Amino acid sequence: MKAVILAAGMGTRLGTLIPKPLTSLVDEKTIMDFQVERLAAEVGIDNIFAIVGYKKELVMEKFPELSFVYNHAYTQTNTAKSLLTALRKIDDDVLWMNGDVYFWPEVLQKLMASETSAALVDTKKCGDEEIKYTLNEQGSIAELSKQVENGVGEAVGINLVKRHDLPAFIEALEQVGNQDYFEKALENLTLAGKIVLKPVQLDELFCQEIDFPEDLESVKARMAAV
């Protein structure tokens, strides 16, 4: 299995001048430090790809052991096209995550145990900014976007696509717009019946995307409470 970290964006909503994955959480240890440490324990450091763009040298200097893919159009594209740059180099099961996600180690183990392609989800009430999802009659994910109405919860930014689904996913990523999130490609596949995307519930585990300063404070508080 390969793992991909989406670390190309500018993270403007958090209001920092550095790539958002390099935001410190505790004792100068960054979001991406935790991600790399926990991914390496599951798939091995040699199987981790990081997609870089904004101030890429800062990420590359901090994590020289990773394989890097440069999204030269990071200012004009969103996560769909950014992820596509890495997946074109992969022929394996692939787990990927947004570069602003903090999670407990057990989260990866739970997601990787899925026998089908899967998305990590949390059942809760969501606002406009969250990626929401609905389920089909078989209990798999149907819709997956910020625009979903009557969603049953949030997709929290860590996903798994099995090798046999990868060609279809790559094609779907190629077909969506430059400003689309990767979830748009997944949604197109699920609605067309071309992929089974299982919802893997967080349940008692902790995982949170850090989009805004209040998210950062929430994660720090949760870490301090453990």
pLDDT of residue 222: 92
Domain housing 80: 2-225
Q: pTM score > 0.85 for this model?
A: yes
Average pLDDT over every residue of 72-99: 95
pLDDT mean across residues, the chain: 93
pLDDT-based confidence at residue 144 (cuts at 50, 70, 90): very high
pLDDT of residue 195: 96
Q: Which residues contact 158 (CB under 8 A, 6 or more apart)?
A: 95, 96, 97, 98, 101, 103, 107, 108, 111, 119, 120, 207
Write the CATH number for 57: 3.90.550.10
Residue ranges of the alpha helices (H) in 88-201? 105-112, 166-175, 182-191
pLDDT > 90? residue 15: no
Average pLDDT over every residue of 164-170: 98
pLDDT > 80? residue 40: yes
pLDDT of residue 12: 75
Domain count, the chain: 1
pLDDT > 80? residue 119: yes
pLDDT-based confidence at residue 149 (cuts at 50, 70, 90): confident
